[in-house]
Structure formats: structure tokens, C-alpha cells
């Protein structure tokens, strides 16, 4: 990678990408909103503004999007315009400018109804069939399908399906890191490794979530009695919960499996549940007070 473009550079993942990349590469951050990580105010829905911006770049990290919190606030048309049509603008402009790769920030949320276990937790990986529930899920999946159609010898595309990584109560975040959560800095690292991969497919998808200690064979008991599984698989976290008088979850309905990303990208989450507790004890604003 030489010159890099980050779309959505004022957003959570965009800022993390900028922080991770700007120390080693020439980076232009583009966003409709200003921030310290954004060098150009650009609306990616306006195709005419893009080819010139992309000129000379070899990699685009496309993280701009409407997200789950926007559901019910923005219209369905807004979701399609920003998440789908603007993604097509990115692809067309990238090909016109000679960009060689796009790394796309997607979400495990697009699995939708497939995320919800009944009688046992669902083991979710890249082969799990998405069943979108909301307009957010639908448009992110449509964007992925569109990207796959544009991928080829001239433009390779990697999709990063990241699990939840926003601030929330400490005990929830700690447990989520076991099965459906990840630190935003680890998400940025996965993007970087996808961009640096030497032998890559024209199109590939990676589930990115915290390292799970759970096994597929744990799925029924995770749904019925997760406390017992956590005590067996992560006794240090269980001890912390006991010391803090925190409740264990009543049920766990899914486990995201990042083993493919670990195998192909050499990625592994560095910040697990004990790091959450450390951040909380140090007063990190990322970790909210327990419920």
C-alpha cells in the first residue's frame, strides 16, 4: 500500500483506521462531517467528486455508512443511497482511477435472524447464510453483493464483517468479547492485514470478532446455562465477576467464529474481556458503568 483513502474517516472505525495507518502511509480521510482524521469534506453520494480524489491511490478503506442507530431516524431511501448506491460510486471511481483494492467495513449484524439461536447458540462464520432483519442489515448485504460483482483482476475486494465494538456497560462488553464483540482497534488491525495480504482472492469475506474460548460443542449449554460454560472456559473472567458481584448472562444465543481471518490474515484479537475490565478500572470512557 502507498497512498490510501479512508471513507467515513470521521466515524468510529474510520478514525481508528486513520490512527493506525497514518504513521506509515500517505492517508486521505474523506467524510461528510469534519474531524481531525478527515482531510477532505466529500459526500460519496456525489460521484463526480470521487475519481480525482482517488487518483494515485492504490487502496480504499470504505467504512462510510449508515448504521443500526440510524434505523428509524433516516429513511429507507437514505440507507440505500448511502450504503448501496454510494458504494457503487466508490467501485466505479476506484476502477476509473486505477485503485487496486477496496477493504469494505461490513457487519455481523447482517446475519439478522440467523444470529438468534433456539434451544442452542448458533455458531456463526462466513458460511452462515445471512437472513437480514432491518434496512441496515439489508443494505449492508446488498452492498457486499454489489462489491462482489465489481471484484476482479483489476480490483480485489475484502469484506470485514465486524462484530459489535461500541461503548456499553462493562459486564456486557466483557461477556460479548467472548462470543460477539471486539475492540475497535482490533477491527482496524484486521482491515490493515487484509490490505497487506499478498496472495488474495478477487473477493473474500472475513468475520472479525473477539477470540472465543467456546467450542461448537458448547452451543446447547451456552444457550441454557452460560455461567457454567464461562466458569469452565474462562475461569479468570468468572472470578472477576464473582469478586465484583456481577450477574452472568441468562443465555448466549450466538458465537462468532473468526478462525478464517486468523488463518488467512494472521489476525487475532489482542483485547479480550480482561482488557475490558482493566479499561473500566482505569476510568476509560469507552467502558460504561455496569447495569
pLDDT at res. 136 = 96
Give the whole-angstrom CA distance, residue 79 versus residue 122: 28
pLDDT at res. 111 = 97
pLDDT at res. 64 = 97
Counting beta carbons within 10 angstroms of the beta carbon of residue 119, is it exposed (0 to 12), middle (13 to 18) or buried (19 or more)? Answer: exposed
Mean per-residue pLDDT pooled into runs of 10, the chain (291 residues): 92 96 94 95 95 95 94 94 98 97 98 94 98 96 98 97 96 98 98 94 98 98 98 98 97 98 98 98 94 82
pLDDT at res. 75 = 95
pLDDT at res. 291 = 82
Give the whole-angstrom CA distance, residue 197 versus residue 192: 9
Give the whole-angstrom CA distance, residue 79 versus residue 136: 7
Residue found under cell 467450542:
215
Going by DSSP bridges, is the β-strand pair 203-208/156-162 parallel, antiparallel, or unpaired?
parallel
CATH code of the domain occupying 3-284: 3.40.50.720
Cell of 91: 467501485
pLDDT at res. 2 = 80
Sequence-separated (6 or more) residues with CB below 8 Å from residue 265? 190, 193, 194, 197, 206
Answer yes or no: are the C-beta atoms of 213 and 177 closer than 8 Å: no
**End-to-end CA distance of the chain, in Å?**
44
In angstroms, how far apart are the furthest CA atoms of the chain?
58
- Reported in sequence order, the residue ranges of the chain that DSSP labels E, i.e. its strands, are 3-7, 26-31, 40-41, 59-62, 101-107, 122-124, 156-162, 168-169, 203-208, 254-256, 287-288
What value does the CA radius of gyration of the chain take, rounded to a whole number of Å? 19
Please state whether the predicted TM-score (pTM) of the whole model is above 0.85: yes
Amino acid at each position: 500500500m502507498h497512498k490510501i483513502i479512508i471513507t467515513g474517516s470521521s466515524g468510529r472505525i474510520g478514525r481508528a483506521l486513520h490512527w493506525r495507518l497514518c504513521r506509515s502511509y500517505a492517508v486521505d480521510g474523506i467524510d461528510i462531517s469534519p474531524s481531525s482524521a478527515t482531510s477532505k469534506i466529500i459526500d460519496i453520494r456525489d460521484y463526480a467528486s470521487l475519481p480525482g480524489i482517488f487518483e494515485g491511490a492504490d487502496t480504499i478503506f470504505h467504512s462510510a455508512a449508515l448504521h443500526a442507530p440510524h434505523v428509524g431516524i433516516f429513511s429507507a431511501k437514505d440507507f440505500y443511497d448511502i450504503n448501496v448506491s454510494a458504494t457503487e460510486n466508490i467501485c466505479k471511481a476506484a476502477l476509473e482511477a486505477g485503485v487496486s483494492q477496496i477493504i469494505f467495513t461490513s457487519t455481523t449484524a447482517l446475519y439478522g435472524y440467523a444470529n438468534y439461536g433456539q434451544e442452542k447458540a448458533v455458531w456463526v462464520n462466513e458460511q452462515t447464510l445471512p437472513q437480514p432483519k432491518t434496512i441496515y442489515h439489508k443494505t449492508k448485504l446488498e452492498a457486499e453483493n454489489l462489491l462482489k460483482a465489481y471484484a476482479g483482476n483489476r480490483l480485489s475486494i475484502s469484506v470485514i464483517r465486524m462484530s459489535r465494538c461500541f461503548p456499553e456497560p462493562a459486564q456486557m462488553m466483557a461477556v460479548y468479547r467472548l462470543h460477539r464483540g471486539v475492540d475497535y482497534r482490533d477491527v482496524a488491525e484486521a482491515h490493515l492485514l487484509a490490505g497487506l495480504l499478498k496472495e488474495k482472492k478477487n473477493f473474500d469475506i472475513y468475520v472479525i470478532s473477539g477470540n472465543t474460548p467456546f467450542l461448537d460443542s458448547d452451543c446447547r449449554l451456552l444457550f441454557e446455562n452460560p455461567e457454567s460454560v464461562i466458569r469452565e472456559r474462562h475461569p479468570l473472567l468468572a472470578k472477576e465477576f464473582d469478586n465484583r458481584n456481577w450477574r452472568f448472562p441468562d443465555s448466549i444465543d450466538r458465537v462468532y467464529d473468526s478462525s478464517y481471518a486468523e488463518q488467512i490474515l494472521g489476525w487475532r484479537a489482542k483485547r479480550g474481556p480482561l482488557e475490558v475490565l482493566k479499561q473500566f478500572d482505569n476510568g476509560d470512557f469507552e467502558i460504561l458503568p455496569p447495569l
